[in-house]
Amino acid sequence: MSTQTPHHVIAPVTGLSCAGCVKKLQSALSDRPSVVEAKVNLATETLDITVDGETPKADTLRDWVVDAGYDLVTESGRYRLDNINCAGCVRSVEKALLADPGVLSAEVNLANSQLQVSWVPGMTDIGAIRRTLKGINKPIVETEEEGRSASTGVAGWQVALGAILSLPMVIVMALELVGIGAMLPGWVQWLLATPVQFYLGARFYRGAYSSLKHGSANMDVLVALGTSAAYLYSLVAGVWLGAGHLYFEAAAVVITLVLFGKWLEHRAREATGSAVRALMKLRPSEVRTWRDERWQDVDVSEIGAGDRVQVKPGEQVTVDGRVIQGLSEVDSQMLTGESEPVAVRPGDAVTAGTVNLTGVLEVEATASAESFRINRIIELVEQAQMGKPPVQAFVDKIAAVFVPAVLVLAALTFVGWWWLVGFEAALVAAVAVLVIACPCALGLATPTAIVTATGAAARHGLLVRDLGQLEQLKHAKAILFDKTGTLTRGQPAVVGVSDGLLDDPDVTDRISAIQQQSDHPLAKAMVAYLPASSGITVEASKAWVGEGIEATVDGERWLLGNEALLSRFNAGPVEPAGQVGESVVWVVRDDRVLGHVRLADPLRDDAAALLDRLADLGISRYLLSGDRRAAVDHLATRLNLTEAHAELLPDQKRLLVDRLHAKEAPVIMVGDGINDAPALARADVSIAMGSGTDVAMESAGITLMRADLNLIPAAIDLSRATDRKIKQNLFWAFIYNVIGIPLAMAGMLNPMLAGAAMAFSSVSVVTSSLLLKNWRPRTQLSKQPRNAPEPGVTGAQYAD
């Protein structure tokens, strides 16, 4: 019989629908070895289990429930933390939170001090998480202003005070070095150094205590130990015993320099997140809406689908919606990177965060505030910045043992120098080893590059959701394109008109007025192409499904449609018109054929140049389409494709991705997310056109926020630039420690120089990452050496 104390676990569960579900889940949980009893309440949708021994972790309990066919209800949040200074701080937070059985996951981004945490309500809550963070001196920052104060303002005052107190000792030391005899009494140095050591340096003691308390060691341990050794030796040997050299200036200057470095580092880290803050400024707070028979300003949270909103020239569009009145131009550069304003008129969609330039617009909201596209974009960018690329796993392993290794090296240095030279020389060398070692540079190398790169990408219309896919993009060997909405515009447009049809303005007006009666895409394309009708009244109209429209204007019968419509009314015959892939709308007035309009889904202007560019890079190019073979064949003859596949269902596209992955991985899939979501989800790298649906943003690792195919090679360039910057940062972080620590062990570095080097090493890494803010989309990419298949002959081949 077990002697362990039983524990109760109560947690909300989802997926229960009947008493059978209750019985099934209870049985599955009861079969677990450590479970004494399992109860499930259908009414409250909660489970209550009693276990022997330790409370099961949330992820373990979730696995049990998922194995039974259900799931736990979870909550998550993203919070900014204070006092996140190095990789050790990251590990301390993650370790402390994951020690709570109710926490499912906890990830901290060193670059922006952001915590992403998820938990099971009932097993823990945000209050417990806050208390844990406060207990390790990494509290949640409640407001943006508080966060900026904690990151920069306080540290700035500390640096200024430290410099004032340390400067007299530095001046005296400098005079001694040039042969001018000057000396501050020991008690004066002690008075100057003590507030620096224990007031300004208190943050290092708190951080070191918190880190050691939770079984880890961080940069604070190194600084606190090194400066304390110098301070205490000076106090005991120099002041009390009067028998040794004073190193008060070394301790004070090291703390001041480290604080100065942290101050610069925090300012630089703030700059890496400027893109997200710029996006946040686009979020509306107030909306001018029609309430109580007048326009009035209300909080954006009060807006729902169907509300009418007014936007004046120069104002931000405050909702996602559709224009119902007014003509204007909209600037979406901050949101999509599109430099040219876009004309909008009734029926056109607009997005919150864009800027109305000219006319007054009346917009009908199509979503509530929490569902605005701008909010989802910000969320996805922040999620990407929280992610870790594959190389970070290696860096984390190094960082985990870095500080303990430095402590061992410092101890060996101290013992060696004491044995060979003496105690004082040993102390100086050991302190230099402790303060020159910089885990911060290692910890910041990758996340600062990621935060800056994803922010720069968002500014230029590239929304990165999956860092792993961004990392793979630079190695891509094959790229697959959906046709409709990707290589083509996705909407029909007029590509030709028969001679003389539109010479008569009366005919043109009547065609436009009739087509305005229809919502068919071909009708809308013709209305967009033709001048607006002036005062034409359509007396009657009838849509013939799959054929066209019949209308009466001024007593005349008009037919606008295909040959089937003409045959229905015995109009014609007509000569075949149009090419493969085109739709033909015949125009008939009182049984007399006046002419025709040809429409097609036109190829994007940049499609041919893009495929040529990808061919130059040695990337295989495939077209995947559900369209007819003849239409795909016609398109393929105009493009530099390796293969073209027609008449594919969504699942067939997915299977083709699998087949190509086995041959030419990694594979890129580019689509609009409408009927190619399975293929996007299956590809190594999935790129969605922003003109598609919201499914695209969820299915794809990278979303093009505007319909510009040139952003695809730009994304490849971003992948390469980010990879170069991460490798560059890691190289300098490693080389700094590899060179600096041996020099300190050899006694070739004064502790103050070591402290200065340590302080500026992390600053240099962050500053290096900030250079990625200058990244601009570059479409002309150099070919990289690789073993890739030669581009195939332009043409079309079809799937079985």
Does residue 513 fall inside a structural domain? Answer: yes
Q: Residue 419: exposed, middle, or buried by beta-carbon count in 10 A (0-12, 13-18, 19+)?
A: exposed
pTM of the entire predicted model: 0.72
User: Phi/psi of residue 136, each to 5°?
Assistant: -105, 15
Q: Check which CATH number belongs to the domain holding 20 and give it.
A: 3.30.70.100
Residue ranges in 68-198 assigned as alpha helix (H) = 87-98, 126-135, 144-148, 154-177, 186-195
Last residue of a domain, one of 533, 565, 600: 600
Helix axes 751-770, 423-436, angle to 10 degrees: 10
Within-domain flag for 469: yes
Helices (H), ranges, 521-673: 521-529, 563-568, 607-616, 629-636, 650-664
Q: What is the DSSP secondary structure assignment for residue 289, as one 8-state letter? A: E
Residue type, 683: A
Does 780 fall in a domain? no
Instruction: Tell me if residue 412 falls in helix, strand or coil.
Output: helix
- Cα–Cα distance, 764 to 733 (Å, whole number): 9
Q: Are residues 159 and 255 in the same domain?
A: yes
- The strand pairing partners of 488, in sequence order, are 603
Is residue 792 situated within a structural domain? no
* Under-50 pLDDT residues of the chain: 1-2, 145-154, 692, 782-800
Say which residues have a Cβ less than 8 Å from residue 645's Cβ, sequence separation at least 6: 622, 623, 624, 625, 632, 656, 797, 798, 799
Supply the range of the domain harboring residue 21.
6-72
DSSP state of 555: T
Which residues touch 788 (CB under 8 Å, ≥6 apart)? Answer: 477, 618, 619, 620, 664
Amino acid at 731: F
Rounded CA gap, 240 and 516, in Å? 97
Distance CA 424, CA 418 (A): 8
791 assigned to some structural domain: no
96, burial (CB in 10 Å: exposed 0-12, middle 13-18, buried 19+): buried
Same domain for 96 and 17: no
DSSP β-bridge partners for residue 124? 121
Radius of gyration of the chain from Cα atoms? 34
626 and 670 co-located in one domain: yes
Whether the CB-CB separation of 136 and 210 falls below 8 Å is answered with: yes
On whether both 159 and 264 belong to a single domain, the answer is yes
479 and 612 share one domain: yes
pLDDT at 21: 79
**Does residue 2 contact residue 9 with C-beta atoms inside 8 Å?**
no
Q: If you write DSSP's letter for every residue of 754-769 in order, what string do you get?
A: HHHHHHHHHHHHHHHH
Q: Of 110, 142, 174, which residue constitutes the final position of a domain?
A: 142
Task: Report the C-alpha gap between 295 and 532 in whole angstroms.
Answer: 30
Based on the domain organization, do 396 and 268 belong to the same domain? yes
- Is there a domain that residue 773 lies in? no
Helix (H, G, I), strand (E, B) or coil at 111: coil
How far is it, in rounded angstroms, from Cα 302 to Cα 295? 14
Which token pair is 279?
Answer: 């996006």
C-alpha separations of 287 from 141, 301, 379, 473 in Å: 29, 9, 22, 41
d(CA 206, CA 135): 11
Can you tell me the distance from the alpha carbon of 23 to that of 371, in angstroms, rounded to the nearest whole number? 38
Annotate 766-777 with three-state secondary structure.
Answer: HHHHHHHHHCCC
Predicted confidence at residue 692, as pLDDT, reads: 45
Q: How far is CA 413 from CA 231, 431, 744, in A?
A: 19, 9, 9
- State residue 70's pLDDT score: 85
- At 268 the three-state DSSP class reads helix
pLDDT at 622: 92
Tell me the C-alpha distance between 77 and 17, whole Å: 28
Spatial contact of 280 and 378, defined as CB atoms under 8 Å apart: yes
Kindly state whether residues 498 and 567 are assigned to the same domain. yes
For residue 90, list its beta bridge partners: none
Which CATH number belongs to the domain containing residue 305 in this structure?
A: 2.70.150.10
In a shared domain, residues 409 and 556:
no
Question: Do 268 and 391 belong together in one domain?
Answer: yes
Burial class, 187, CB count within 10 angstroms (exposed 0-12 / middle 13-18 / buried 19+): exposed
So which residues are the catalytic ones? 482
Q: Are 332 and 291 in contact (CB under 8 A)?
A: no
Asked if 696 and 750 sit in the same domain, the reply is no
Contacts of residue 282, defined as CB under 8 A and 6 or more positions apart, other chains included, come to 316, 334, 335, 352, 353, 374
Q: Is residue 785 part of a domain?
A: no
Q: Which CATH number goes with the domain that contains 549?
A: 3.40.1110.10
User: At which of 49, 72, 95 does a domain end?
Assistant: 72
Reported residue count of the chain is: 800
Domain count of the fold of the chain: 6
AA identity, residue 413: T
Look up tokens 């016609």; give the residue: 634
The pair of structure tokens assigned to 550 is 């019949």
Q: How far apart are CA 407 and CA 343, in angstroms?
A: 64
On whether the CB atoms of residues 451 and 464 are closer than 8 A, the answer is no
Domain identity same for 553 and 643: no
Q: Specify the pLDDT at position 147.
A: 46
Distance CA 399, CA 712 (A): 35
Residues 615 and 627 in one domain: yes
* Each residue's pLDDT tens digit, 129-175: 999 998 888 888 875 544 444 444 446 788 889 889 988 887 877 77
Asked if residue 709 belongs to a domain, the reply is: yes
